[in-house]
Structure 1
Amino acid sequence: MRSLSIFGLTVASLYLGFCLFLYFYQSRLIFHPKSLIGLTPSEVALESEDVWLPVVSGGRIHGWWLPGAHPSRTLLYLHGNGGNIGVNLEHARRFQQMGFSVFLFDYRGYGLSEGPFPNEARVYEDANAAWDYLIQTRNIQPADIYLYGHSLGGAIAIELATHQPQVAGLIVQGSFTSMQAAATAVGRYQLIPLRLLLTQRFDSLSKVKDLKMPLFYIHGLDDAEVPADMSRQLYEASPQPKELWLVPMAGHNDLARIAGQTYFDQVQDFLEIRTQAQTP
């Protein structure tokens, strides 16, 4: 009995210790920034402008402005939790080839951006700084700005869209309903009381019902990191006008490559929906 008691206390201590680790270090488990930028616009002969923006709470964010051909199409690109803007440049270039001017930036702690390690509140603040840059410095009308977010960036884009209902449209790719759901969906933390421990909630599902702009959800059916059903749930909870595109054989990071020209066609169709929605 004494051995069983010692064993039980050991297991309980380990469990409690793991819960405390998750509570205090969850940002380190969610965000995976890289400092080294592996690919730059100059290396692919892409016209760009380096942008540095101060953030109210400290530090500054770095990004690239990629000018496009269409005067009324600007895309604010919000990347996921790993890498930095260098990893996302090729995909941002796809939108630029569609005519968008693209502002692609790193959250503080990623790439060249300076400041404290990211958390939910900070990346929201960084997104707001990027938005203010487009409105105040570039003098772009909100109705000409589209928001694009991939994975964690989708949750950031949804949060920003709740405060900027006048945006032209919102594209969310490979994103999740909430951080709690994402953590449990991949087979981890089932025995952990995440509802009590999570401070980084990214609860998109509770927000999408209030969105006011045309919505386009994209997800790969073979996504092993975020189940495609999460985009279905976001879509079902969202108001019209909205579209959902589920891509066969596409994973979390290769969807546009797998889809090829169809990716361009689907985005163009979404732009038509947005135009129709604005027509009296």
Structure 2
Amino acid sequence: MLNTILIILFKLGLIVLAVGAIAYFCACLFLFLRQTRFIFFPSRLISMTPDDVGLAYEDIELKIPIPSGKVETVHCWWVPAKFNSEKVIIDLHGNRNTIGANVGYAEQFHQMGLSVLLVEYRGYGRSTDRFPSEKTVYEDVEAAWNYLVNERQINPNNIYIFGHSLGGAIAINLALNHPKIAGLIIESSFTNIREMIDYKKKYWMFPINLILTQKFDSIAKIPALKMPILFTHGMDDELIPSTMSEALFTAATEPKQLLIVPGAGHNNVRQVGGEQYWQTVEKFLT
């Protein structure tokens, strides 16, 4: 009788282990297939336009052919400089915001004498409604680069790139592809997705190195960049620790600058930084 009970318990244990293993495998598969949903949070809401801050602008739609034969679009705003300045800055937003969230930055750059191209990745705002990935956002900003260089005939030496948060990682990748750019401003960004996962401490039980395909590995790319780089970050950033900008700064080659703003969070470095922030950015650009 005892042997029979032990055999039953043993079989039940095997069943529980098998069910647990299947559930774990399914969870890993889900994370592998759906990980973009944990990185991108596309919105269609455009909260502001350049009109709201008195800037003249032009709506631009960039065409991107896809393998199916269809053509998708990347929506941009072109804000021309007040005067005949040759300097242009590409403005790249973060993972939760549309193009409208960066209107304040556009106003700042415009006041500093630059033309601004604000880019909206596919899946966001008025761009084609498809869920983004690391590959597609790189394609989107490459289309923006080609538009400036080929259609507007902007000299690459006069083009700066600004990226906030995830936009910073996208900016770094674009700069890696176009080393002749004038300079790079990276605000409130991270080292890579792997280290962000470690920082959040949510997925420690999964084999992340095997699952992860969306890497945004800025810390590996930054040493290869030779253009001037300005890193800015809020000391009280609740989403991405300022130590990640410090790590990027350390990994970067000269010329480079780092501005950590006390009291600033993830989305208000410019506002809290005030005059110091303004002067640092203006000096970098001019």
Q: Same fold (TM over 0.5)?
A: yes
Q: 2:74, 2:128 within 8 Å by CA — same for their partners in 1?
A: yes
Q: Which residue of 2 aligns with 1:209?
A: 223
Q: CA RMSD in A?
A: 1.6
Q: 1:224, 1:252 within 8 Å by CA — same for their partners in 2?
A: yes
Select 1:223's aligned residue among 237, 245, 254: 237
Deviation at 1:53, TM superposition (A): 0.7
Q: Which residue of 1 aligns with 2:79?
A: 66
Q: Equivalents in 2 of 1:249, 1:43: separation in Å?
A: 27
SS of residue in 2 equivalent to 1:33? coil
Q: Which residue of 2 aligns with 1:143?
A: 157
Q: 1:221, 1:251 within 8 Å by CA — same for their partners in 2?
A: yes
Select 2:62's aligned residue among 53, 56, 63: 53
Q: 2:62, 2:73 within 8 Å by CA — same for their partners in 1?
A: yes
Matches within 5 A, 1:8-47: 8-47=17-56
Q: Is 1:105 aligned to 2:105, yes or no?
A: no
SS of residue in 2 equivalent to 1:69? coil
Q: Is 1:87 aligned to 2:75, yes or no?
A: no
Using the TM superposition, name which of 62-71 and 128-137 deviates more. 62-71
Select 1:195's aligned residue among 209, 212, 215: 209
Number of equivalenced pairs: 272
Q: Which residue of 2 aligns with 1:243?
A: 257
Choose 1 or 2 for highest CA Rg. Answer: 2
Q: Equivalents in 1 of 2:205, 2:272: separation in Å?
A: 36
Aligned residue identity for 1:93 = E
> Gaps spanning 5+ residues in structure 1: where?
273-280
Q: 1:186, 1:225 within 8 Å by CA — same for their partners in 2?
A: no
Q: Equivalents in 2 of 1:83, 1:14: separation in Å?
A: 34
Q: Which residue of 1 aligns with 2:3?
A: none
SS of residue in 1 equivalent to 2:45? coil
SS of residue in 2 equivalent to 1:171? strand
SS of residue in 1 equivalent to 2:65? coil
Q: 1:157, 1:172 within 8 Å by CA — same for their partners in 2?
A: yes
TM-score, normalised relative to structure 2: 0.90
Q: Deviations over 1:212-240 (max 9, x none)?
A: 20011111111121111111111111111
Deviation at 1:114, TM superposition (A): 1.1
Divergent runs of 4+, >6 A: none
Identity %: 44
Q: 2:91, 2:102 within 8 Å by CA — same for their partners in 1?
A: no
Q: Equivalents in 1 of 2:282, 2:76: separation in Å?
A: 25
Q: Equivalents in 2 of 1:119, 1:21: separation in Å?
A: 16
Q: 1:60, 1:115 within 8 Å by CA — same for their partners in 2?
A: no
Q: 1:98, 1:264 within 8 Å by CA — same for their partners in 2?
A: no
Q: Equivalents in 1 of 2:47, 2:38: separation in Å?
A: 23
Q: Deviations over 1:18-65 (max 9, x none)?
A: 211110001111111111212222233321111111013330111111
Deviation at 1:268, TM superposition (A): 1.9
SS of residue in 1 equivalent to 2:219? coil
> Gaps spanning 5+ residues in structure 2: where?
1-8
Aligned residue identity for 2:74 = I
Q: 1:49, 1:65 within 8 Å by CA — same for their partners in 2?
A: yes
